[in-house]
Amino acid sequence: MRKTGLERPFNPMQVGTWILLPLLVLHFLVFVSPVLPIAASAPLTVLFLTMGGLAMFYAYRCCTVDPIDPMLALHHRRQAGQAVGEGQAEAAMGDGPTKYCWVCQTNVKESSMHCKFCDKCVCSFDHHCMWLNTCVGETNYPLFFRAVAFTFAFVL
Catalytic residues: 129
- CA separation for the pair 22, 34 (Å, rounded): 18
- Of 106, 108, 130, the residue nearest 118 (C-alpha): 130
Residue type at 39 in one-letter notation:
A
Instruction: Say which residues have a Cβ less than 8 Å from residue 113's Cβ, sequence separation at least 6.
Output: 121, 122, 125
Closest CA relative to residue 132, chosen from 62, 42, 80 = 62
